[in-house]
Amino acid sequence: MKPDAAAFPVSSSADECDRLDLLDVALFVRAALLANVSAAGREFGLSPAVASARIASLERLLGARLLHRTTRRVSLTQDGEVFMARAEALLDAASAARASVGRGQAEPQGRLRVSMPSSFGRQHVSPVIAQFLRRYPGVSVDLRLTDTIVDLVDLVDAGVDVGIRLGALKDSSLVARRIAVNRRVICCAPSYLAERGTPRHPSDLARHECVILSGQRDWSFVTPTGPLTVRVGGRLATDNGEVIRDALLAGFGIALKSTWDVAPYLRSGELVTVLDTYPLAETVAIWAVYPSRAFVPPKTVAFIDFLAAHFGDPPYWDADPQ
């Protein structure tokens, strides 16, 4: 995000020379991101000489060299890498403080760091992220797609503002908002059923080739005689949902899948559901989670509201085609 230089007044008096100047901090961050002090200076209306002098002043104030400088580019020193993360957090805090009062209350601003599962992000968030950015021109997005669950400590340490989680939410230390239903089904290709037969009861799954996500071998169902958990087995286990979907489409095995991932294939008939009369015991959802704190920045609220409205209730992937 290009900082607003007018938002960071310059300290010039002698009694303020030992104070950290947000303009210098913002200039340093841009220089590091662009790998060029002169280019960063131009964004703030500063000459190359003045921009270099301001960063040098910041280094003297901190008592550490932040940038390696060559004739072609600059790079972060070890101290610079440490300060960079703190500097970005400081600028985000300043943006949040500004946004919390006056006109800023209605104008989300600042860099928004978002973490979410890679497949879900590519399918359901990536196509509309440009729409969100056009709606909120004061916000920039750092979108991190990963299949590693980010806990509270990692969320804070990584500077993530909001994480999107799928499934059951077990971490009570996070503030969470449900933004969509996460309906799950047991499904496979018709060719698999033609070869192996159709399971009529959850217990039949123990004799089928099941494709397993992240060691989740216990599938629990609601039956007329009470809850039933089946330990499934199979020759393919993976931590990636797309691998499971590809295996199903190839006619290999049965899997427990979320409809956000397989709805188009269910509509086309490439996949079919089984055991529909035996609901899964665990109800799951799609959640927006963020660190517990008194103030939630407008940019975070805007993003969560945007996704909830975009997904809909029921979510668009579960809606009947018109």
CB 232 within 8 A of CB 258: no
Average pLDDT over residues 90-103: 69
The predicted pLDDT at position 152 comes to: 44
How far is it, in rounded angstroms, from Cα 68 to Cα 205? Answer: 61
Q: Which of 185, 189, 183, 163 is nearest to 174 (CA)?
A: 163
**Beta partners for 109?**
none
15-24, 177-186, 224-233, 271-280, range with the lowest pLDDT? 15-24
The predicted pLDDT at position 34 comes to: 77
Average pLDDT over residues 66-90: 85
pLDDT at 108 over 90: no
Asked if residue 321 has a cis previous peptide bond (ω within 30° of 0), the answer is: no
pLDDT at 183 over 60: yes
H or E element: which one contains 190?
A: helix 190-196
CB 254 within 8 A of CB 187: yes
pLDDT at 154 over 60: no
pLDDT in tens, 191-214: 999 999 999 999 999 999 999 998
**Beta partners for 142?**
113
Q: Which of 124, 95, 74 is nearest to 26 (CA)?
A: 95
Domains and CATH numbers, the chain: 5-99 (1.10.10.10), 109-181+285-311 (3.40.190.10), 184-274 (3.40.190.290)
The predicted pLDDT at position 104 comes to: 53
pLDDT > 90 fraction of the chain, expressed in percent and rounded: 52
The predicted pLDDT at position 174 comes to: 67
pLDDT > 70 fraction of the chain, expressed in percent and rounded: 83
The predicted pLDDT at position 102 comes to: 54
Average pLDDT of the chain? 84
Number of H helices, E strands in the chain: 11, 14
Assign 246 a pLDDT band (cuts: 50, 70, 90): very high
pTM of the model: 0.67
- Name which residue leads in pLDDT, 266 or 88: 266
CB 98 within 8 A of CB 9: no
Average pLDDT over residues 4-17: 40
CB 258 within 8 A of CB 119: no
pLDDT at 55 over 90: yes
What is the C-alpha radius of gyration for the chain, rounded to an integer number of angstroms? 25
pLDDT at 21 over 70: yes
87-101, 195-209, 243-257, 272-286, range with the lowest pLDDT? 87-101
